[in-house]
Amino acid sequence: MNKISLVLIALALISQIKCQNEEVESDFQAYNKWRSKNKRVFLNQEEETYRQLIFFENLNQIKAHQNNTEATYTVSLNKFSDYSDEEFEQIILNKHIQRFQPDIQEEQQPKENLRKAVSYPDSVDWRNTGALSPVQDQGWCGSCSAFGTAGVLESFHYLRYNYMVKFSEQQLLDCARQAGFDTHGCNGAFQQDYFKYAIKYGIVSAASYPYVGYQTACKNTSNLPKYFPQSFKFIRSNIPDIKSAISQGPISVTVDASNWRSYQGGIFNRCSRNPQLNHAVIAVGYDAQGNYIIKNSWGPYWGDKGYITVSAQNDCGVLRSAIQVVS
Ligand SMILES: *[C@@H]1O[C@H](CO)[C@@H](O)[C@H](O)[C@H]1NC(C)=O
Ligand SMILES: *[C@@H]1O[C@H](CO)[C@@H](O)[C@H](O)[C@H]1NC(C)=O
C-alpha cells in the first residue's frame, strides 16, 4: 500500500469516527493538547493526518490498558505517541545488538568450579546516591549503547573517585567506528565495543564533547582530559551474580524494550517470554521482590522520571548480557 492510499484510508477513518460520539471529541482534544505540548510540526497535511491516525491507535491501546484493573504498571502518552511500533523499533531501538553474543572467552571469571557463594543485600537502589548522572535523552537516534556505556563508566568513576564526571556519548558514537570497532552510529552498537574503545582510547567529558544526536566526524580529542577504564567483564546470567554485581555499582544490561514505549510507572511485566535484545540500558538497583530498577535514555519525561522497574518474573532479558566495569 502506498503512502497516498494510507492517507486516504486515514482520512476516511478519521472522518468516520469523527461523527461517532463525544469520546472522539475528547480524543481530538487529547491530540491537540499532546501536539502542542510535544511541539510537533508537520511537512504537510498528509503527514499530519498519518501521524494523527497512529496517535489515535496508540491512544486506544493506552485506554485499553487503563481499563485493565489487573495491570501492575501504568502507561501514558509521551513523545513516542505518534509513532508506530515499527517506526519505534527502526528509529529508537538498536538493530545491532541481537547479532552479537557476549564474548565469553573474554570473561575473567574464576576458573575453579567451586566459587564462593555470592552475597548481596535484599535491595539496592543507586538513584539519589550521587552515583548516577541525570537521565539523558538519546533523541531520534539508536545510540542507547553509547548511553549505557558512558553511564556505567560515570558511576564506576564516581564510586572510585567520589566525584561525578558526565562522559561523552558523542565521542563513542563518532570515534569508535573510525578506530576500527564494529559500531554503527545511530543504527546501534554493542556496548562491549564501546567499553573496549574507552579502555584503549579513553573517554572525554560530555562538556568537552557534547551530544548532538547524530553521528558526526570524530573530533580530535588529543588535548582533552580523558578517563581510561582498565577492564570489564560479562556477568554470569544468573540472579545471584547479577544482584551481587548491581550491589557493587550500576551495570550495563541489554533488554527487549519493544513494549516499553508508553510505560509510565509501576512494575512492567509485558516483555516477550522470548526476549529479543534490542536496547542497552543501565541496571541501577533491585527491590526486595527482585524487580530490577533500570535507568533508560529516553529523557526524564518518559516512564518514572526516566526510569523503569521490570518484573523479576518477566525481566526483559536483563540477565542475558550484563557487563560490569572491573577496574
Ligand atoms: C474501557 O471501558 C469502558 C467501560 O467499560 C468501555 O466503554 C470502553 O470501550 C473501554 N475502552 C477500551 C479502549 O477498551
Ligand atoms: C590532534 O591535535 C594534536 C594537537 O593539536 C595534533 O598534534 C595532532 O596531529 C592532531 N591529530 C589529528 C589526527 O589531526
How many whole angstroms separate alpha carbon 294 and alpha carbon 284? 6
240 CA from centroid of ligand 1 (Å): 42
pLDDT tens for 40-91 read: 888 999 999 999 999 999 999 999 999 999 999 999 999 999 999 999 998 8
218 catalytic? Reply is: no
- Mutation probe of ligand 2 site: the residue of 222, 223, 224, 226 with most atoms within 8 A of C-beta: 222
Task: Give dist(CA 21, CA 24) in Å, integer.
Answer: 6
User: Ligand 2 atom 11: the closest Cα is on which residue?
Assistant: 220
> Given 94, 269, 278, 296, which residue is catalytic?
296
Q: How long, in residues, is the chain?
A: 327
Which pLDDT band holds residue 104 (cuts at 50, 70, 90)? Answer: very low
Helices and strands (H and E) in the chain: how many = 8, 9
Q: Residue 185's closest CA among 154, 157, 227, 143?
A: 143
User: Which atom of ligand 1 is nearest the CA belonging to 61?
Assistant: 13
Question: Do 286 and 267 meet the contact criterion of CB atoms below 8 Å apart?
Answer: no
Query: Whose grid coordinates read 539519589?
Result: 128
Residue tagged active-site, from 78, 94, 141, 144: 144
Residue 144 annotated among the catalytic residues of the structure: yes
Does residue 279 have an active-site annotation?
A: yes
Model confidence over 233-278: pLDDT tens digits? 999 999 999 999 999 999 999 999 999 999 999 999 999 999 999 9
Q: Which atom of ligand 1 is nearest to the CA of 67?
A: 1
